[in-house]
Each structure stands twice: as C-alpha cells, then as structure tokens.
Structure 1
C-alpha cells in the first residue's frame, strides 16, 4: 500500500518533473512568475507546505505537466480540508443537538470532497483579470472599504497562515482573530463582484487554514470562541461560493463544517445563517421538503432575539423554499414576516448581514411572484430594484434580469422579454457562475414558446446552442410549475 500522503506525492512529483527539466528551484520560481517563490517550492517538495492553486497552475504549465501536478494538488488540498474538518466533528458517542438538522449528515459522516477547487469550468484568465482590474481601478468605495491589497492577498501564492503572521502551534490572541475576520469579510465583498469559478480556490484554501489554526494553535477561551465564529463565517461564504460554482456536495460539506463550528461558538444567528444557506441550496437542487424543514429549523435556532436583519434574511430564504416546493400561501406569509422583521432593525446585525436591505427583500418578493406566474406584481418590483442596483455586481444583475425576462414572457410581452434575455446572456457570458448558466437556460426554454416572434427567433438563433441542440421539454420551463397558479 502507498504510505505517502497526498501532499508527499505532490512534492515527489513536483521534484521529479523539476529535476527532469533541469531546473533549480530558483529558476522554476522565476519562470512561474514568482521570483521569490523558491522557499514555497522547497517546502512543497518536502511535503511541508501546500502552495496556492494559482501558483501550482503556473508550475504545471512551466513543467508541461499536462495537469498532472494540478490533479495531485487538488487531492492534497482535499485531504487537508477533510482532515481539518474531522477535528471539528464531535466524538462518535456525543449526541449533537440538531434542532431540525436531521436532514444534514453528521460532519464526520459527510462524503469525501472530490476537489476543493477548479473542477468546475474555470473562468477565462483574461476575464478574471478584467474583474480584478475593476477592483483595483475604483471599486473600493462600492466594496465597503475593501482595498485592492486585501483582495489580492486572498489570491496570492503561499500559506494563508503565514499571511496571518502565525505558525501552527503558537499562541494566538484577539488581534490575529481580527485579522482573520478581515480576510473573511474581504472574501464576502469579493463575492459581490466575482463569481464562484473565480473564488472557489481561495475560499477553500482560507477555510482549510482557518480550521488548521483552530486545531493546532493555543489560545484563551474567549479567543477560541471568536476563532470558531470566524471558521463558521468562512465556511458559510465558502459554501455559498462552491454552490455558485456548481459544486453542491462541496458546498454542503462546507456548510456542515460551519454549523459544527458555530454551534461550538454558541452563535445562534450564525448557526441559522449556515442552516438557511444550505436550505436555499437544497431548494434549488430538488430536495424541497428537506429545504423547508431546515429553513424552519434555522428560524427556530436563531430565536426572536436575533438581530432584525438576520431574521428578515431567514424568513426570505424560507419563502424561497416554499416557492420551490409549489406552496404559494406559506411563501407569501414568509415574505411578509421578512418585511415585518426588517422594520425592527436597530443596526445591531453582524457584519455578514451587511447586504440585507428592503431593496433585497423586494427582489426576493419579485422572484417569488415570478415563480408564481404573477407578472403584474413581479415586473414593477424588478424594474425598480434594477434601476438602483450596483451595476458592478454582474452576477446578481444577470440573475435578477433573468426573472424579469420570465415575468415579461408570462405577461405576454415577448419582445421585451427577448431584450432582457439578451442582456442576461451577454452579462452571463463572462461570469463563471453555475447559477447564471442555469438561469440562462431557463430563460431560453421559456422563450421557445414565442419562437415565431422575430426578436425571440433571432435570440434563439444566436444562443440556442446553449440548450445543447435539443428542443426543450414543456416541463423544463423552470423549477416551478402550474400548481403555483392555483392559489
């Protein structure tokens, strides 16, 4: 049996290929575009450190390894997070208070991750670079103060723990946790303007490092609790990013890591945030009854004393789970509860709820009404929201316009629907998001009903290939059906 760890196998393969190419570690680092990267290569070859995926991709290209080094890297990264996550799992004989979590597998029983990053189709390098350039070129204000340096540090080669200024086994204090919190929020802000395919590698590298920090460092009890909270927050955004990249198993694993950490930190709203995030994914992937149960449990776990903005978010996600299950009346009641909760906002919400607002609730209202085929309610809400929405949030703009296109089609306005659909498809073309790709196909299938309209015919001629060359089934119009019209 092979006794080498995945990291050892990566190091051995890297060293073998480097030697076969006749390159020193210094020379390889220079050719890869990292003149100071010799130490990183040395540590990797000795099985001591895992570089970033970006660094490994360049090494693989320089050594003409045809993806062999990247494959070993992903196996090593998967093993690292899996090992780190197991440490957050309770002992086998410990009863975990689930409060509705029966639908979520125990952390120590979740399936192995197939990869931590990049198995989804990656973004074109020039396209990702363009969006990064936007960040560096004037989006700092719209990103709530996130600096280009903060963003770039998330994607640089090297060990995330090193960027925090700590070594495994050392004692850490509240200052280190604050630095980690800043990196977590930088990742959230990056997710506003970049998509899952751009961020999945950095997100899971950060998560693995945070869990390692939690497992191997020494700290006071209050620092440990704060650190667990950051692991939970990081797991949530990593799960959200993985879901956007179409890596649903990976996202579910991340969410369960976060739920375990947040429970240990006694952070009820964060537990609910993670549970409702997972419920949202379950609703979108066909596990509708489970999603409702989990979304309801999230509201119960959060409690009435949770900050108003967080309760509004949890009710909004509950509304979506009901919508996907074709239960319109409970969905509408949940929307009302979300708006009621927000009226009590006292500006005491955690940082992760920074984006929750009345505008965002209106967008969810419109999405629900669209799925219920009530265009007269949906269209004005979507037009109003899109008129005020930050245009740099390309993925969200594309998603919201996709619901507008569907609502216009339901209102028997195919010409306008075709205009919106073209905007959706243009925006989505450069965004490595599974969600926008799925919504683009939903819109195209819906517009097939109006194939005789010139604007629609031209659209289908230009983009029909995205449907794989087959005529859509009448039942593929979207995740909901005519049952929603019977309310």
Structure 2
C-alpha cells in the first residue's frame, strides 16, 4: 500500500512544531493571520506563493516550504513552473483566495504573455488608483471584484511573463496594492474572510518586493479589521508593528499617522481611555508635522478624518457630548470625493444625538446619510450602522423626524 504524500499544511505544522513555535508565534513572526495559517495547516485553504515565502522565511526553512507549496499547486493543477536562462524573476501564479475563485482561477492553459515592462505596471497602478477613488465616493459594494481582477492580472503577469528584476519588484508592488484595494473594498462590502486573505497576500508581496509602504498599509488595515471584529489586542499588535515600520520608512509623512489612529481605536474598544487619548493626541501632532502627502493610499488622512476618529473613540467610551461637535466638523469637511466617509459620520452623528436625547436632530442626520446613500454610496459598513439607527428610532416612530426617516429608510430598501 503506497504511503500518502504529506500535504503542505501537514508539512507546515510539522516544521512549526519542530521549531518549537505555537501557531501564534508563527503568526507574529510571519505577519500572517493566525486563523488563516490554521486553515492552511488543516488543508482548508490553498497556500499562495506569497504566504509560502513568508512562512518559509519565518521558519528559516531555506526554500523547502516554497518548493512544497509550488509542488502542491502543480499537483492540484493550479500552476505550471517555468524557467528561463536569462536573469529574470518567474513567480508561480497564486489564486486570490475566494475572490478569484469566484471570477475563474488561473490554470495551466494560460498562454504566455511575453515580456513585461513598466507600461503594464503603470496600467495596473492607474486602475488601482481609480478604484480606490471610486471606493471613497461610492463604498466597496460591487467594486471589490474589479480590484480582485486587477490583482489576478498581476499574478498572471508574474506567473507567465518575462521581465528584469527591477520590473519584477514593481510588478510585485503593484499586485500588492491591488490586493490592498480589493481587501478594503471587500471589507466595506461585508466580506471579511476575503478582506483578510487579501491583506495577508499583500503583506507577503510587500516583503518580497521590500516595500515598507505596502507592508504598513496591510498591517494597519489588519488592525482596523481586528478592531471592527472586536479583537482589540490583535489590533494593537498589528498597529504596533505598523508603527515600527512606518517610523523607519517615512517618520514625517502621513503614513506614520495611520498606525497611531489604529492604536487609539483599539485602546478605546478595550476601554482604556487614557492610552487611547495619548495615541490620538500623538496622531494629531504627527499630522501637524507631516511634510508631504506620502503614499497615495494615505489621502484620507486629514484633520477632518482625525475629528471623525476622535469622535468615534468618544462614542466608544460613552462621551457622546464630546463626540457630537467633532462629528459635525467631520461631516462638514468631507466633500463629495469622500462621500462614503461623510455618510458614515452622519450615521454616527445620528447615533450620538439619539444617545443625547435629541431625536429630531438624530433623524435629520440620518436623513442626510440616506441622501448620501441615494447618491450611489453602497457600503455594507454604513448600511449596517444605519440599520442600528433605524432600530433605535422604532420606539420614536410617532415623532415627525423619525417617522419621516423610517418611511424613507424602508422605501430605500436599505433594511
């Protein structure tokens, strides 16, 4: 009877245990989510080339895990290994977990794409920039699949194209940015598993490309998602790691502000008001000292956004009277280019006013949020918080403002 060949997941678990590490230690060292690693070890998730690189480096496996992952993908029919005597980088195409599966994965039949240059990289970068701007305006619903397609194209070029090393690094970075865009848009669509997978893929790609900007972006988004899922300690770990990298990368740029925002929110969720206030104040000082816009994904970092973050922290800590004027400022300062965030802060303003007993004022803010949503903002996060407001208004349905809002809310189909 032939012995069954060991899967990648079983090999990873065996090597991790031989290293004396828990799954948490491997997660911390590789910056890959613990739950995602657990599913890989149980062979419930395919392993991408990026994650194989990250765990191989963490366990100092000298390429053994990379080769095992490559072999398993060939066995499963997901990729073909190519070689070339010229100096170039050839990367095995990896599936975009769950998202790409729904779009149609890559297989052995994918034709060669020839020589890749900066033009193809630029095309991907411009597509990501456009999708990110659309996300700020309209929210993530219906957009994340388009970003996933851009990432998929990046993997196709990496797996089947020919390019010099410098273009390979640029292509890795562009694919990482596409993954980040897909992850954020999937998060805003309520697809949390897809979002986390995208962030982990981006983190692995960032390390391959030696790109600290993307690495910080992935870590702060993982922190944000962890806070959203009520896991503040995990959020703090991600945010702390992001702060260390950002400090060495661009300590005077806007990118260095974002980890502090994530720290402040995580501390507030944990109920630690003083630490939250300390991180938020540090974020404002750092923004005041920022000398440049920095990486383009940091465009949302502004004093208006910090007002919104401070207000959210105040709400989490029950300080609604402090939150109200901050939210009013944040709403006024967010223009049409950030309509999604404006709608979100209007919903939070409605919640805060309701907590303060101003039912009519709360209904007005909720009505204005519906106006934003009627302007083609489609965000699962905004809609979820708006549903909570609608439930609060149910007990005030005979008041003019809440009654008008509830009628519009039901008619809009936002329930």
TM-score (norm 1): 0.61
Question: Quick check: 1:234 aligned with 2:178?
Answer: yes
Check 1:190–1:466 CA distance in 2 against 1; reply closer, same or farther (3 A cut): closer
Cα deviation, 1:248-285, whole Å, max 9, x if unaligned, reads: 10111111110000111112232111111122112112
Residue 267 of structure 2 is matched in structure 1 by: 322
Report the alpha carbon displacement of residue 92 of structure 1 after superposing the two structures with TM: 8.9
Match of 2:279 among 315, 321, 334: 334
User: How many angstroms apart in 2 are the aligned matches of 1:118 and 1:184?
Assistant: 20
C-alpha change, 1:268 and 1:251, in structure 2 (3 Å) is same
User: Which of the residues 349, 352, 357 maps onto 1:412?
Assistant: 357
Q: Write out aligned runs for 1:68-467 (5 A).
A: 86-90=48-52, 94-96=56-58, 113-116=97-100, 168-306=112-250, 307-347=252-292, 349-391=294-336, 393-428=338-373, 430-448=376-394, 450=396, 453-460=399-406, 463=409
Say whether the 8 Å CA contact 2:96–2:198 is kept in structure 1.
Answer: no
Q: Is the 1:316–1:364 Cα contact (8 Å) retained in structure 2?
A: yes
Paired residue secondary structure (2:230):
coil
* Distance in 1 between residues matched to 2:380 and 2:228, nearest whole Å: 12
Task: Tell me by how many angstroms 1:436 deviates.
Answer: 1.4
**How far did 1:421 drift?**
1.6
Q: Which runs of 5+ in 2 are unaligned?
A: 1-44, 61-68, 73-93
> CA 1:118 to 1:380, structure 2 compared with 1: closer, same or farther past 3 Å?
farther
How far the C-alpha of 1:88 sits from its partner, in A, is 2.4
Q: Is the 8 A contact 2:206 2:215 kept in 1?
A: yes
Residue 180 of structure 1 contacts residue 230 of structure 1 at CA under 8 Å; is this kept in 2?
yes
What is the deviation of 1:426? 4.3
State which drifts further: 306-315 or 323-332: 323-332
* SS of the residue 2:52 aligns to: coil
Residues 117, 200 of structure 1: 8 Å contact kept: no
SS in 1 for 2:292: coil
Q: Distance in 2 between matches of 1:328 and 1:353?
A: 26
Shift of 1:205: 0.7
Query: How far is 1:112 from its partner?
Result: 8.6
Q: How many residues align?
A: 333
Identify which range, 317-326 or 290-299, moves more after superposition.
317-326
1:242 is paired with a residue whose SS is: helix
Structure 1 residues 373, 464: CA separation in 2 closer, same or farther (over 3 Å shift)?
farther
Consecutive unaligned residues in structure 1, runs of 5 or more:
1-81, 99-106, 120-158, 160-166, 470-487
C-alpha RMSD of matched pairs (Å): 3.4
Is the Cα–Cα contact under 8 Å of residues 323 and 331 in structure 1 kept in the other structure?
yes
Deviation sequence 1:395-424 (CA, Å, 0-9, x none):
222111011111212222111011112222
Distance 1:467 1:208, change over 3 A: closer
- Following TM superposition, by how much is the alpha carbon of 1:348 offset from its aligned partner in structure 2, in angstroms? 5.7
Q: Distance in 2 between matches of 1:234 and 1:423?
A: 32
What is the CA-CA distance between 1:185 and the residue it aligns to? 1.2
Q: Deviation at 1:385?
A: 2.5
What is the SS of the residue equivalent to 2:115? coil
Structure 1 residues 357 and 249, CA, compared in 2 at 3 Å: closer, same or farther?
A: same
Deviation digits for residues 56-104 of structure 1 (CA, Å, limit 9, x no counterpart): xxxxxxxxxxxxxxxxxxxxxxxxxx98x72323359723389xxxxxx
Shift in CA distance, 401/468, structure 1 to aligned 2, threshold 3 Å: closer
